[in-house]
Amino acid sequence: MKIKKEIVVINPGQSFKLFKPNLRNNFYWHYHPEYELVYVEASNGIRHVGQHISSYVDSDLILIGQNIPHLNFDYGIKTKYKQIVVQLKENFLGDAFNETPEFEAIQRLFEKSYRGLSFTGKTKAVVAEKLKHMQTFNYFDQLLCLLQIFQILANSKEVTALNEQDTSIKLFLNDKIRMGAIYKYIHANYNERPDVNKVAASVHLSTAAFCRYFKKQTNITFTDFVNQYRITQAKTLLLQDKSVSETCYEVGFESLSYFNKLFKKIIGENPSAFKNRYVK
């Protein structure tokens, strides 16, 4: 479960790869020198790009730069979902980006993608429809559609950079810690009381060294990460029409008032409002 380098194989006759991966039962913490555009529709999922960890609801649209470590966006999803991924090399159009003024905005988009870019609102909706229809086109029309998508993204204001700095693989090459082991432990124990001492021992670090490492790698503390994971699982239970109190105790919180407060802090609304918005 160490970080893996993905070898991207592009089909003959194409300059990029368009596919629909299904990896929800696998922890795939990986990187590759290709740019990647990911669109996923799911009731709830985890977003881990570089040092950024958060969750998404309904859908997610992310552009990931070269060699940025990231987790598969369908990891751990329990409900039905759809995913579309585009991968392309830096020179997928040869020297066109450097020599064609019309591509200047797209070139700037790629230059910013090292931070991981999340798109929302109308931008996400329009691009999602294009990606869905794009799969039915011939290779040439797929390329034209992809350029339209990148132009839309390049001019969008509905975008958030997930990382404050470069988190490409050069910062992770000496990483001896298995993030997969950490996720596996938390997933198995989030509804109880995850013991930082045990997870530290599992990756062969002292507790103090592990806490420093985890904060450096993810930009949040181990406790904050566990709470985010619990809230992510709580959203899934609420979407399955569990009551707020049932959900609170099932994901390991002992205080309903604290659960409500933390849920609102992370998600931006209380559990009841979240459930009422999605469960009719």
Q: What is the extent of the structural domain holding 111?
A: 4-161
Instruction: Report the amino acid identity of residue 60.
Output: D
Q: Are 121 and 58 in contact (CB under 8 A)?
A: no
Residue (of 37, 33, 40) closest to 8 by Cα position: 33
Q: Please say whether the dihedral angle defined by the alpha carbons of residues 181, 183, 189 and 194, taken in this order, is positive or negative.
A: positive
Cβ-contact 57, 43 below 8 angstroms: yes
113-129 tens-digit pLDDT: 999 999 999 999 999 99
Residue 1: what pLDDT? 54
On whether residue 169 sits in a domain, the answer given is no
What phi and psi, each to the nearest 5 degrees, are found at residue 47? -115, 110
Side-chain half-sphere exposure of 137, counting CA atoms within 13 A: 15
Residue 15, C-beta contacts closer than 8 angstroms, at least 6 positions apart: 88, 89, 92, 93, 143
Report the length, in residues, of the chain.
280
Pairing outcome for strands 35-49 and 52-64: antiparallel
Which CATH number fits the domain that encloses residue 183?
1.10.10.60
**Residues 18 and 155 both lie in one domain:** yes
The H or E element containing residue 224 is helix 222-239
* 233-277: pLDDT as tens digits: 898 899 888 999 999 999 999 999 999 999 999 988 999 999 988
- Please tell me the pTM assigned to this model: 0.82
- Nearest-angstrom CA–CA distance, 221 and 189: 17
Residues 185 and 138 in one domain: no
Residue 211 class from Cβ within 10 Å (0-12 exposed, 13-18 middle, 19+ buried)?
Answer: middle
Residue 142 shares a structural domain with residue 26: yes
Q: Please say whether the beta carbons of 190 and 226 come within 8 A.
A: yes
Look up tokens 């922890």; give the residue.
27
pLDDT tens digit sequence for 18-71: 999 999 888 888 999 999 999 999 988 889 998 898 888 889 999 999 999 999
Cα dihedral 77, 256, 240, 230 in deg (nearest 10): 0
pLDDT at 165: 84
> 91 and 63 in one domain?
yes
Rounded to 10 degrees, the C-alpha dihedral 85/121/74/136 comes to: -30
Classify residue 170: in a domain, yes or no. Answer: no
Does residue 265 lie within any of the structural domains? yes
How many domains, in total, are found in the chain?
2
- Other CB atoms within 10 Å distance of the CB of residue 252: 19
pLDDT confidence band for 170 (50 / 70 / 90): low
Instruction: Round to whole Å and give the CA distance between 108 and 238.
Output: 40
Rounded alpha-carbon distances, angstroms, from residue 49 to 62, 220, 268: 9, 13, 21
DSSP letter assigned to residue 13: T
Asked if residue 72 belongs to a domain, the reply is yes
Query: Does the pLDDT at position 176 exceed 80?
Result: no
In a domain, 166, yes or no: no
- Phi, psi at 189, each rounded to 5°: -130, 5
Helix 256-267 and helix 222-239, axial crossing angle in degrees, nearest 10:
90
DSSP string, 229-240: HHHHHHHHHHHT
> Same domain, yes or no, for 107 and 31?
yes
